[in-house]
Structure 1
Amino acid sequence: MQGKIKFVIIGSGNIANTYVSAIQNIANAEIVAAVSKRLKAPTKQPNLPAFASLNEVTTDFDAVIICTPPGLHHETAIEAAKLGKHIFCEKPLDVTIAAMDNMINICKENQVLLGVAYQRRYSSDNPVVKALIENNTLGRIFSVDLSVKNYRDDSYYNAAPYRGTKAIDGGGPFVQQASHYIDLYYWYFGKPFKIVSKLGTFVHDIEVEDHGVAICTHDNGMISTITASTATKPGFPAKMEIYTSKGYLILENDVITHWDMEGLENPTTQSQDGNTHTGAATATVEDTTNHEFLINDFVDAILTGKAPIISGESAKNASEIILEIYNSSF
């Protein structure tokens, strides 16, 4: 396959506009149509032909980008796979084990690629920390505190009827706002063997949590906490504190802001300039650099036949941790 990869974007909401902006910066990719039940194209590319379903699309295309609510991801993925189209899916992969397994299996059966947008893995200092952990440079890691304390006002949840629901949104801030960082946690440390959690709804009139804490225990003895919230005004930078036998480091918005490791210099080359999207108080994403990185990789995977850098199987792990946090609380 040569030339531009042609995408159909599924959904027309806020995150769809992020992908429109990203693909406008990618030479060998373009969006050729939109699918929306409202027959509406994303506002940043309003002249796209819009269709009510993927089966109705008359424009030739190679792949889809799924930007629908999480609990609906599997529906479009199955439809696209049966058409022989590759699939790039917004996080999380889906909200149930059965749906995720179905997505992964049907993509394999139809020999199409499934990539997932967990772009935080490759943001700022996050890959640097990954390499330090893999090389055992930091010593024994015995404690991690992950905090994703966002704030969303009522207008966020009132903007769409599915928000704050279990069936379609999948839950509250653990599966929504904290999903990227729980994926990062998995990428660094693997899956815990035991999770104990406590969730509550304190500020919003929704059927799922708006604040909660999980305690995770790993096979190597590491004990960690994960806090996720949309109730903590005014919203705070996502923070991961890592404590080891050599000292500690703190990541804030993917940048090492504190470092005290015996015999090791701080490896960061980053600075927080105030323009980094934190997600703390808004869902809007202006900087599409990391999305462009993953889409470029996905386009290359289509053209060369290699696997996407973040596959469906890899992305499923974050959802499994989140589901265990929910199951533990219930």
Structure 2
Amino acid sequence: MNFAIVGCGFIARKHAKAIEKIGEANLVSVCDKDSTAMKYYVDEYKIKGYTRLEEMLGSEEIDVVCICTPSGLHASIAVQLAEAKKHIIVEKPIAMNLEDTERIIDACKLNDVKLAVVHPNRFRPVVQELRKFLDQGLLGKISHVNAKVNWNRNQEYYDQAPWRGTKEYDGGVLMNQAIHNLDLLLWFVGKPEQVFSMEATRLRNIEAEDVSIGVIGFESGVLGTVEASTTVYPKNFEESITIFGEKGTVKIGGANALYFEHLLVEGKSEEEIKEIKKSINKDPWGIPGHQWIIEDMVNAIKEDRIPSVTGEDGKEALKLVLGFYESADKNKPIQLTKENKYVNN
């Protein structure tokens, strides 16, 4: 299947490398309004580069397009691609607001094209193992969960491009970094019902937040906390998910949430736990998440099924971020209704 990439920034390299590793995927072209940004891809993969999306779509036989542009541009590009009958893989967040998200999802449904959102952390070996514990009910009733992303993104990172750290095109630590961990919380324990959040811009000269602290009440009764920042000195400090259950306590952590830092589960012997940890530690990254998502799209097209990480999944993670933003802005809890709208509590 022929792939193209729109937007030739840093994240596009992960897509290109992943496509290269998949036997049934072939990168045929890239598109970016800045021709210099395309030079690496044109030279490295011996493909064509286009400064206009319309020209690329008219000149190449393309099955799937990966959208790697600034987040604020996702919706307009995705709708154009859907109308051109191209399947879509879009980087997180799916969009910057729910209206644009609905436009993307509706356009893909109307034109019968498949849509996948890049939430690659789901495919890390340690995350997959934790999901197995939950699917098998080994942790029992869950009481509470927490997610932490305390990383470093210095001012130089934000100064790389004028859109970084803006509310219109990029967002802050919740939208850009912690959204992956919010996706995992939703994947592990279900839909949220209520949120309360405080945020600040403490150290970075950006429009959006560089620190956020939030609380979640899930429909299941589970409570959760989220702590996220890009202000940590001098490098990434931790990324973790902890789940507290009546029959087990599990923490996946490290600088990038790759290992079991704590693993106690009723019925699991010390030897079993040791072997599980040993297996994870052998290859903590596993197959790169982007490769999983791209190969899953190939298989979804072949098998005519929905991708593993859907547009609706991307929408739910975005809704949670927007709920935190609204709560911080209004300094009050926000109730998330079943109609997927936010209402004041």
Per the normalisation by structure 1, the TM-score is: 0.91
- The one-letter code of the counterpart of 1:79 is Q
How has the CA–CA distance of structure 1 residues 100 and 159 changed in structure 2, closer, same or farther, with 3 Å as cutoff? Answer: same
Tell me the percent identity: 31
For 1:255-266, what aligned pairs fall within 5 Å after superposition? 255-265=259-269, 266=273
User: Which residue number in structure 2 is paired with residue 316 of structure 1?
Assistant: 315
User: Which residue number in structure 1 is paired with residue 38 of structure 2?
Assistant: 41
Number of matched pairs: 315
How has the CA–CA distance of structure 1 residues 77 and 68 changed in structure 2, closer, same or farther, with 3 Å as cutoff? Answer: same
Please give the alpha-carbon distance, in whole angstroms, between the structure 2 residues aligned to 1:244 and 1:276: 24
User: Which residue number in structure 1 is paired with residue 225 of structure 2?
Assistant: 225
| Cα deviation digits, residues 258-278 of structure 1 (max 9, x gap) | 1122322434454447x967x
1:153 aligns with 2:154: yes
Is the 8 Å Cα contact of residues 199 and 212 (structure 1) preserved in structure 2? yes
Question: Whose helix proportion is higher, 1 or 2?
Answer: 2
**Partner SS for 2:66:** strand
User: Which residue number in structure 2 is paired with residue 284 of structure 1?
Assistant: none
- The one-letter code of the counterpart of 2:16 is V
- The one-letter code of the counterpart of 1:149 is N
User: Which residue number in structure 1 is paired with residue 251 of structure 2?
Assistant: 250
Please give the alpha-carbon distance, in whole angstroms, between the structure 2 residues aligned to 1:200 and 1:69: 22
**Partner SS for 2:316:** helix
User: Which residue number in structure 2 is paired with residue 25 of structure 1?
Assistant: 21
Please give the alpha-carbon distance, in whole angstroms, between the structure 2 residues aligned to 1:311 and 1:139: 28
- Structure 1 residue 246 displacement after superposition: 2.2
Please give the alpha-carbon distance, in whole angstroms, between the structure 1 residues aligned to 2:258 and 2:100: 30
- Structure 1 residue 24 displacement after superposition: 1.0
User: Which residue number in structure 2 is paired with residue 198 of structure 1?
Assistant: 198
- Structure 1 residue 42 displacement after superposition: 5.9
How has the CA–CA distance of structure 1 residues 150 and 272 changed in structure 2, closer, same or farther, with 3 Å as cutoff? Answer: farther
- The one-letter code of the counterpart of 2:325 is Y
Is the 8 Å Cα contact of residues 194 and 218 (structure 1) preserved in structure 2? yes
1:208 aligns with 2:208: yes
- Structure 1 residue 255 displacement after superposition: 2.5
User: Which residue number in structure 1 is paired with residue 96 of structure 2?
Assistant: 95
- Structure 1 residue 316 displacement after superposition: 1.1
User: Which residue number in structure 2 is paired with residue 128 of structure 1?
Assistant: 129
Is the 8 Å Cα contact of residues 124 and 284 (structure 2) preserved in structure 1? no
Over aligned residues, Cα RMSD in angstroms? 1.8
- Of 12, 19, 39, the match for 1:16: 12
**Partner SS for 1:317:** helix
Is the 8 Å Cα contact of residues 174 and 228 (structure 1) preserved in structure 2? yes
- The one-letter code of the counterpart of 2:157 is Y
| Cα deviation digits, residues 156-215 of structure 1 (max 9, x gap) | 00001001100100x201110111111111100112211000000111111110001001
Is the 8 Å Cα contact of residues 166 and 207 (structure 1) preserved in structure 2? yes
- Structure 1 residue 237 displacement after superposition: 2.7
| Cα deviation digits, residues 250-305 of structure 1 (max 9, x gap) | 101132221122322434454447x967xxxxxxxxx8622111111101112232
| Cα deviation digits, residues 70-104 of structure 1 (max 9, x gap) | 11111110110111111111111111000010000
Runs of 4+ displaced beyond 6 Å: none
**Partner SS for 1:193:** strand
Is the 8 Å Cα contact of residues 91 and 118 (structure 2) preserved in structure 1? yes
